[in-house]
């Protein structure tokens, strides 16, 4: 199965800078994450589309994600997108609205705690996104915390720090 | 969602004994594994049915797993079974043959490397089994290494150390 | 051996807040760190003296650390102090100047990367500080990165991100 | 500082074989262990002298360790030896008896739980051995569990699973 992973940054990919003590989107750690998983069936290609905290995403950034997803679905059986959780629902709604009919599953995911931390939820969420990519019909979804929710009408639950249907 | 996890031991649950240097099925580490995952929707109950290397399983052990699965599906929306990989396919075939119609998904999983090791595949496989339990229709499956395979006709690939269809 | 550990915060004890994405000195993780080490000889007591980024330490904070160290050495065979690295050398110099004769080893340590990160140097440095506390004569030291340096005349090497003699 | 590390195998370096489920001394993981530590002062060279469970060591094996240590001290400021704990005291006594005067510190260490396990004591013990190598006078020692004990008269405490003086 050919899978394209688009990374856009967000909490999941924030890394620590020892010189100034900051935690930011410096570089992707997607290859490290993937190297810890066993994925014998997947031919993965990945691409860094934008790379920032999703609170700082502009509509131009979202247009680039839309365009990259449009391209990726042509050459892939599924698309996974790493994204900051704060505006993930906004991007998901846009993709759902603009990319119809989709043809392939497009799964967004991210994390509440960066991958570099011991107690991260990043690996759980990426594992779930990669499995959902094989199991669900064409559509735009968020996969996180043992849930796969289909757009539209997905919101971040800021109280419980996860995603839900309204 | 009400989920029952039945553990039967196997490599995934082998732990190290510092007194004699052995690696065996001493006690379940399922609670530790689950505590590292975020599962806001699941009401999990778990039960230790048998607890051994699956090469040592007798037909009486398999009859107990069959009976425990029959019971569990009555009070659960899905059943996950931790099992040694060496005879997982044998148990899966038995459940598939004897429990028709199933009514709920029954997902077997395990690991090639025990959970206690740094480079284990246990968390990936358990994460996948717990997600498959929500996504697939009633049936008996193995979930492992980004694959969800439905019984019958599932075999362990002893060369590549995973499961596949023949 | 009776050991007192004073924590003052700093990078080593910064933890992640999932609500706002900040990395700060919220609460001590000293008990978690110690629980991963095997210390059959040590009777450890610990105390949170101040708890902040060491760049924000005031002279009043340093006076409290001085006083806490003075107290701790009366009831302990050695004292270990967790401290931010940015002004660790300043606190070490103060203790060295004001606490003569010391009577016991006083070992400062910290980390370039918080304990909560996978690739932290926190456990190495704490392990070294706890061993130095048993091996060195009375005096004020920093233990970090396989070095034990005695005050006065210890500086942070901001290029190589460690401590050295000038 | 020039340090030679001799590895002889033992529990610390046992690794898991996914094909047969065994835990044995297959290959050294010393480079992986060292890569997780920050050692800016050390020029480390290492050598695999013998490689086995220390219960299987013969007197010929011990003679090779003695010879390798004799060689290593000529070109090093200190020598660290990884060794199985079951007969570590026997090897330490031999080195202490035969290598007088030593000229440099020789520090033996090992682990009760292999490095590949999450809850290993391997990194603590190696960290301690590498620091003891810088702090103690010439002599043969075991460094483990926050203790540095000088030969002769060191025994494994099989009840508490550590080393002690009789």
- State which residue of chain B sits closest to A40, comparing Cα positions: B145
- Residue B1 and residue A162: Cα distance in Å, rounded? 17
Chain D residues closer than 8 Å to B113 by CB:
16, 18
CB of B17 within 8 Å of a chain D CB? The answer is: no
The pLDDT score that the predictor gives to residue C100 is: 84
Query: How many distinct helices (H) and strands (E) make up chain A?
Result: 4, 10
- CB-based contact B147 A41, cutoff 8 Å: yes
- Residue A98 and residue D1: Cα distance in Å, rounded? 63
**B53 pLDDT more than 90:** yes
**Probe site for chain A from B38, B80, B135, B147 (most A CB atoms < 10 A):** B38
Residue with tokens 């047969």: D20
Count the alpha carbons within 13 Å of A164 in the hemisphere toward its beta carbon.
10
- CB-based contact C127 D130, cutoff 8 Å: no
Question: Which residue of A18, A53, A161 is in closest CB contact with C18?
Answer: A161
Mean pLDDT on D53-73:
97
Chain D residues closer than 8 Å to C136 by CB:
135
Please list the active-site residues of D: 11
Encoded tokens for D1 = 């500082």
Chain A residues closer than 8 Å to B123 by CB:
123-124, 127
Cβ atoms of A132 and A143 within 8 Å: the answer is yes
Question: Which residue of D11, D16, D158 is in closest CB contact with B117?
Answer: D16
| pLDDT tens per residue, range A5-17 | 999 999 999 999 9
CB of C24 within 8 Å of a chain A CB? The answer is: no
CB of D41 within 8 Å of a chain B CB? The answer is: no
Check residue A21 and give left, alpha or beta (phi > 0: left; psi -120 to 50: alpha). left
Question: Which residue of A16, A53, A158 is in closest CB contact with C117?
Answer: A16
| pLDDT tens per residue, range A9-45 | 999 999 999 999 999 999 999 999 999 999 999 999 9
Do chains B and D touch, with touching meaning 3 or more CB–CB pairs less than 8 Å apart?
yes
Cβ atoms of C66 and C24 within 8 Å: the answer is no
Mean pLDDT on A83-88:
97
- CB-based contact D40 C147, cutoff 8 Å: yes
The pLDDT score that the predictor gives to residue D100 is: 84
Q: Is A11 a catalytic residue?
A: yes
SS3 C44: strand
**What average pLDDT is seen over chain D?**
97
Mean pLDDT on D51-57:
96
Band (pLDDT 50/70/90 cuts) for residue A100 is: confident
* CA nearest neighbour of C148 among C92, C66, C70, C68: C92
- CB-based contact D146 C131, cutoff 8 Å: yes
The pLDDT score that the predictor gives to residue B103 is: 93
| pLDDT tens per residue, range B135-159 | 999 999 999 999 999 999 999 999 9
Encoded tokens for C39 = 């210390």
| pLDDT tens per residue, range B54-98 | 999 999 999 999 999 999 999 999 999 999 999 999 999 999 999
SS3 B116: coil
Distances (CA, A) of B23 to B18, B116, D12, D20: 9, 10, 14, 12
- Residue A140 and residue A150: Cα distance in Å, rounded? 6
Cβ atoms of A10 and A83 within 8 Å: the answer is yes
| pLDDT tens per residue, range C21-63 | 999 999 999 999 999 999 999 999 999 999 999 999 999 999 9
H/E stretch holding A48: strand A43-48
- CB-based contact B123 A128, cutoff 8 Å: no
| pLDDT tens per residue, range B31-47 | 999 999 999 999 999 99
- Residue A31 and residue B121: Cα distance in Å, rounded? 17
Please list the active-site residues of B: 11
The pLDDT score that the predictor gives to residue D136 is: 98
Query: End-to-end alpha-carbon separation of chain A, Å?
Result: 33
Cβ atoms of A147 and A99 within 8 Å: the answer is no
Residues linked to residue A13 through DSSP beta bridges, in sequence order:
none
- Residue B12 and residue B85: Cα distance in Å, rounded? 9
CB of B113 within 8 Å of a chain A CB? The answer is: no
H/E stretch holding C16: strand C15-17
SS3 A128: helix
The rounded percent of chain C whose pLDDT value lies above 90 is 98
The pLDDT score that the predictor gives to residue B94 is: 98
Is the CA virtual torsion A121, B40, A142, B122 positive or negative? positive
Chain D residues closer than 8 Å to C124 by CB:
37-38, 123, 127
Q: How do beta strands A162-164 and A155-157 pair?
A: antiparallel
Check residue D9 and give left, alpha or beta (phi > 0: left; psi -120 to 50: alpha). left
CB of C41 within 8 Å of a chain D CB? The answer is: yes
- CB-based contact A18 C116, cutoff 8 Å: no
Mean pLDDT on D151-159:
95
Question: Which residues have CB under 8 Å from B130's CB, separation 6+?
Answer: A146, B3, B37, B39, B42, B80
Band (pLDDT 50/70/90 cuts) for residue B100 is: confident
CB of B114 within 8 Å of a chain D CB? The answer is: yes
The pLDDT score that the predictor gives to residue C85 is: 97
Mean pLDDT on A96-112:
95
Provide the number of CB pairs (under 8 Å) joining chain C to chain D. Answer: 80
What residues of chain C score a pLDDT lower than 70? none
In angstroms, what is the C-alpha Rg of chain C? 15
Question: Which residues have CB under 8 Å from D42's CB, separation 6+?
Answer: C146, D1, D3, D130
Question: Which residues have CB under 8 Å from B49's CB, separation 6+?
Answer: B6, B7, B8, B64, B65, B68
ipTM above 0.95, yes or no: yes
Question: Which residue of D40, D123, D147 is in closest CB contact with C145?
Answer: D40
CB of B16 within 8 Å of a chain D CB? The answer is: yes
Encoded tokens for A20 = 């100034």
Q: 3-state SS string over B25-75?
A: CCCCCHHHHHHCCCCCCCEEEEEECCCCCHHHCCHHHHHHHHHHHHHHHHC
Band (pLDDT 50/70/90 cuts) for residue D24 is: very high
Question: Which residue of A16, A53, A158 is in closest CB contact with C113?
Answer: A16
Encoded tokens for D69 = 């240590």
Cβ atoms of C146 and C129 within 8 Å: the answer is no
């Amino acid at each position: 199965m050919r899978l394209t992973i688009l990374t856009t940054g967000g909490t999941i990919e924030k890394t620590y800078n020892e010189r100034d003590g900051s935690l930011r989107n410096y570089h992707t750690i997607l290859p490290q994450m993937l190297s810890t998983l066993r994925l014998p069936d997947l031919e993965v290609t990945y691409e860094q589309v934008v790379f920032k905290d999703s609170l700082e995403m502009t509509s131009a950034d979202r247009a680039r994600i839309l365009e990259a997803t449009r391209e990726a679905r042509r050459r892939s059986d599924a698309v996974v997108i790493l994204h900051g959780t704060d505006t993930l629902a906004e991007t998901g709604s846009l993709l759902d609205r603009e990319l119809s009919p989709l043809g392939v599953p497009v799964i967004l995911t991210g994390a509440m705690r960066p991958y570099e931390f011991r107690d991260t939820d990043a690996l759980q969420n990426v594992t779930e996104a990669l499995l959902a990519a094989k199991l669900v019909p064409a559509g735009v979804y968020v996969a996180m915390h043992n849930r796969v929710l289909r757009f539209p009408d997905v919101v971040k639950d800021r109280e419980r720090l996860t995603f839900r249907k309204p």
